[in-house]
Structure 1
Amino acid sequence: MALELYLDLHSQPCRSVYMFAKKNNIPFEFKKISLLDGEQYGEEFGKITLIRQVPALRDGDFCLAESIAILLYLAEKFKTADFWYPADLQQRARINEYLSWQHTGIRLHGSKVFWLQLLLPKLLGVEVPQDKLDAALEDLDSSLKLIEEKFIQDKPFIAGDHISLADLVAIAEVMQPVGSGLDVFEGRPKLSAWRDRVQAAIGKELFDEAHQMILGGVPVMDVSKMQVLKSKIIRLFL
């Protein structure tokens, strides 16, 4: 059985796993799971992971959830180039530092802006109070400053001279609010230059392919399917 990756490219963690697998020529079968249609709650997907989140991996009888665990599994199983997750203790620690911070440090805020600015008003017809959006934008701004000042500093990439798993995970998160129409790179030349280096290291074609779904505006879908999740989403983001 071929290695299977369960993905929805609207999801930042899914994009990082997808780009890593494609960039390293890791053979896999793409199993599409539509989060907006609630497919993660289906019976079959529940057999892959009771966490019911993507990405998820199945490798024969072995199933794995959580994007960071999946990235490390792929890096070790397929013996990818050392720069992705270096053997050097301090470089690896620098990567681990970012990967430990990013869950609540950037994903929470980037996701919130994406929902408040795009999906809630334009997909679900929910009026978002301006103060809620302003607070979310302020939190996101603080996180982006930390990425520039703490994690990138004056280095080409987060761990030094080469791209790593940290940059791959970071770029997927930073691009999420861009999908809502917010230019996070405006007025941030350091972040913009880092984005360009990451894009070049990944390859523009793969970078664009991975992000085309969120950069295409409001997703085309059966909005009625979202009504089941509407109250949960409003509690989460408002």
Structure 2
Amino acid sequence: MGLELYLDLMSQPCRAVYIFAKKNGIPFQLRTVELLKGQHYTDSFGQVNPLRKVPALKDGDFTLAESVAILLYLSRKYKAPDHWYPQDLQARARVDEYLSWQHTTLRSCCTRAMWQKMLFPVFLGQPVPPETLAATLAELDRCLQLLEDKFLRNQAFLTGSQISLADLVAITELMHPVSAGCQVFECRPKLAAWRQRVESAVGEDLFQEAHEVILKAKDIPPADPALKEKLRQALQGLLQ
């Protein structure tokens, strides 16, 4: 059996992997794992990824977890164009720098902003204290400023003149709070122009296809009681 990607396009890292594979013509079988239905808790998925997280990759007998590892594996195996993850030592280091930074900064606050502003109150029926949401949105704003000042600066993309894995990972993160109604780009013309360049580079149709699910997240019906309690327990850290 060929390459299999276990994805849920509600997930930011899954969207990055999906766009990268599609954009680079990588043949794969999509195995959908619906997080909001708890499908990552099933025994069958646990055999693919004991961490019970998506994305996950299965390539024959080889399995791989973690989105950055998957993106690098795909880039190397399928010899993606150099701009995605450059061979030049310093250019590659710039991509690595962003990928290292975003996991504990932008990813964290984008995830919490979406859950606190939309999914906790709508999907789980759990109110979020206004001061908690306000603190998260303030942290998101600080991260956006760092994204502009440290990484984007006055260049076309986050690590130089061409799109890289850094841009793909960043844009899929930012669309999470956008789906909840956060004004991520409206007052940041530099960041808004970067978004347009990224969309154009990956293809607007592919970009919209990958984000269709998350942009309709506000219409998701409430979780059933059994799953609601399980998810509440698993996601309490997002309220801090």
Q: TM-score, normalised by structure 2?
A: 0.96
Instruction: Say how many residue pairs are matched.
Output: 238
Q: Does structure 2 conserve the Cα–Cα contact (< 8 Å) formed by 1:37 and 1:226?
A: no
Separation (CA, whole Å) in 2 of partners of 1:123 and 1:173 = 20
Q: Which residue does the alignment assign to 2:233? A: 231
Letter in 1 for 2:216: G
1:44, CA displacement in angstroms? 0.7
1:185, CA displacement in angstroms? 0.3
Q: Does structure 1 conserve the Cα–Cα contact (< 8 Å) formed by 2:2 and 2:60?
A: yes
Q: Which residue does the alignment assign to 1:44? A: 44
In the alignment, is residue 141 of structure 1 matched against residue 151 of structure 2? no
Letter in 2 for 1:40: H
CA RMSD of aligned residues (A): 1.1
Separation (CA, whole Å) in 2 of partners of 1:217 and 1:148 = 27
Separation (CA, whole Å) in 2 of partners of 1:219 and 1:24 = 32
Q: Does structure 1 conserve the Cα–Cα contact (< 8 Å) formed by 2:113 and 2:177?
A: yes
Letter in 2 for 1:144: L
Separation (CA, whole Å) in 2 of partners of 1:219 and 1:187 = 26
Change (3 A) 1:95 1:28: same
Q: Does structure 1 conserve the Cα–Cα contact (< 8 Å) formed by 2:8 and 2:32?
A: yes
Deviations 1:175-231 (A, max 9, x none): 110010112001101100000000000000000011111111325356113332223
1:195-214 equivalences under 5 Å are: 195-214=195-214
1:66-215 equivalences under 5 Å are: 66-215=66-215
Letter in 2 for 1:233: L
Separation (CA, whole Å) in 2 of partners of 1:234 and 1:82 = 40
Q: Does structure 1 conserve the Cα–Cα contact (< 8 Å) formed by 2:123 and 2:220?
A: no
Q: Which residue does the alignment assign to 1:59? A: 59
Q: Does structure 1 conserve the Cα–Cα contact (< 8 Å) formed by 2:57 and 2:65?
A: yes
Q: Which runs of 5+ in 2 are unaligned?
A: none
Separation (CA, whole Å) in 1 of partners of 2:55 and 2:192 = 27
Separation (CA, whole Å) in 1 of partners of 2:218 and 2:228 = 14
1:67, CA displacement in angstroms? 0.3
Letter in 1 for 2:188: R
Q: Does structure 2 conserve the Cα–Cα contact (< 8 Å) formed by 1:36 and 1:226?
A: no
Separation (CA, whole Å) in 2 of partners of 1:175 and 1:76 = 27
Separation (CA, whole Å) in 1 of partners of 2:174 and 2:198 = 12
1:237, CA displacement in angstroms? 2.0
1:235, CA displacement in angstroms? 4.2
Q: Does structure 2 conserve the Cα–Cα contact (< 8 Å) formed by 1:5 and 1:58?
A: yes
Q: Does structure 1 conserve the Cα–Cα contact (< 8 Å) formed by 2:116 and 2:238?
A: no
**Aligned residues with identical type, % of pairs:** 53
Separation (CA, whole Å) in 2 of partners of 1:144 and 1:235 = 22
Separation (CA, whole Å) in 2 of partners of 1:202 and 1:151 = 20
Q: Which residue does the alignment assign to 1:24? A: 24
Separation (CA, whole Å) in 2 of partners of 1:36 and 1:208 = 21
1:57, CA displacement in angstroms? 0.1
Letter in 2 for 1:48: V
Q: Which residue does the alignment assign to 1:9? A: 9
Runs of 4+ in structure 1 off by over 6 angstroms are none
Q: Which runs of 5+ in 1 are unaligned?
A: none
Separation (CA, whole Å) in 1 of partners of 2:130 and 2:29 = 42
Separation (CA, whole Å) in 2 of partners of 1:117 and 1:39 = 24
